[in-house]
Amino acid sequence: MGNLLARIGALSTAAKVLLAFAALLLLVLCIVASPLMVVLAFLALVVAIFALIIRILRRRPLRTWGIIAGSSLVLVLAFSGISGALYGGGQEQAGSTGQDEQAAVAPKPKPTEEKKAKPAPKPEEDEDEGRYDATATVTRVVDGDTVEIEPAVDGVEDVRLIGVDTPETVDPSEDVEPYGPESSNYATSVLEGEKVELEFDEERTDQYGRLLAYVYLAGDEMFNGELVEGGYAQVYTVDPNARYEERFRAFQEEARDANLGIWGLSEDDQCELADRGNGIGDGTPGCEERREPAPRPAPEPEPQPEPEPVPQPEPKPEPSSPDASASASPDPAPAPAPSSGDLDCSDFDTQEEAQAVYDQDTSDPNGLDGPQGESYTGDPGVACEDLPPGGSEASPTSSASPTSSASPSASSPAPSGGGGAPSGGGDIDCDEVDGPIPTPPGDPDGLDGDGDGLACE
């Protein structure tokens, strides 16, 4: 740099003047072409930066390229300022000058043209007021799809959102449904205290007297669609209010695919929601199958106690008469076959068994009613009186065999002198006997004239 200045100083005066003039001319040209100079200086800056990076990687000196990069940056900034000062303000001034000239040249409109001119557009607020049916402030959120507004519209403060249904939270006749509190809290956080616009459909009120409306927030955001899109509500269309049904169903499919809100609940929780024709809720086929109770096994019958046998009263012997003694009594219980003279009372367990043997042969070859040739023992015709009785207390005379009929008087001793049994000694006749009696063994007195086993008939 010092050598360059020394050479310039060594030049003649004329040469110095020419050199200064050339430098000024070059400067003017650069100023005039400042946009081009900005581009050239920027390219030089880029090249210098790449050169610096390469020299840094190769560990070479950076001084020369550093000076070039710094100078290029200064030139870019300088010529950018010059270009903006020369051409930026000039374009604005030229534009304003052109507009002034056009305004001066344009002819004044005729009075008839003023009448045909279009009216100026209304402000945006006027357009919104014409688009919506009413404007109000939400004073209270009842649940996810019902709010209260102020001022009232047509005297009604309650507004039911059209086309959507959130899980129930305030119905006193129903339990709080799954995801109901979340939907109500979301509606409260977004709507309560906010100014909203209401758009009505074909029917303006429902059977409960509530207004039916699409609710819009600032910025034309319909809150009905936001509920469906976020999974806080399901689509619920009640004709004829179906203006935005297709839009709501598209939102619902997106929420279902993303498992948002009610679409992310378990199947059991979804079955507790209302059935609005969207594949969930109480009454859908999947929920009906879950509600069918499993068949209970039939209870085993409890063992019934066996009825106690009713004791049968023992038949009482009826009073016997001579005519009754002639009739056959019921068949006696089977007894041992009779034998001649080889049995005694020790061979029987009960008096009934001995009596059955005796009744088969009243001649008493076994001596069951006393030894042969001796007087009777006890009651005549009663065998083995010392044995215990059998299953019945009836006297042997009530069970006489067909071959021998007992007399009812056999149960009591016949009078004989001092009231004892006939001795069978051949000195007794029927005048001394009260009624028919069993014929004594051998009939020594000849009392049984007809040989039927009964004496003194």
Query: Mind telling me the catalytic residues?
Result: 160, 168, 210
Beta bridge partner(s), residue 141? 147
Give the closest residue to 369 by CA, choosing from 337, 334, 352, 345: 345
Residues 6+ apart with CB under 8 A from 387: 345, 348, 349, 350, 351, 354
Residues 6+ apart with CB under 8 A from 188: 141
Cβ neighbour number for residue 30 with a 10 Å cutoff: 17
Cis check: omega of the bond before 389, within 30 degrees of 0: no
Q: Tokens 């001022």 appear where?
A: 151
Q: Tokens 């059977």 appear where?
A: 207
Give the closest residue to 83 by CA, choosing from 42, 23, 118: 42
Secondary structure of residue 280 in the 3-state scheme: coil
> What is the rounded distance in angstroms from the CA atom of residue 324 to the CA atom of residue 220?
123
Q: Are strands 156-161 and 454-455 parallel, antiparallel or unpaired?
A: unpaired
The sign one gets for the Cα dihedral 226, 229, 234, 236 is: positive
> What is the rounded distance in angstroms from the CA atom of residue 410 to the CA atom of residue 397?
7
Would you list the DSSP string of 61-76?
A: --HHHHHHHHHHHHHH
The counts of H helices and E strands in the chain are 14, 10
Tokens describing residue 343: 């049995």
> What is the rounded distance in angstroms from the CA atom of residue 252 to the CA atom of residue 224?
12
Q: Tokens 């009186």 appear where?
A: 385
Secondary structure of residue 229 in the 3-state scheme: helix
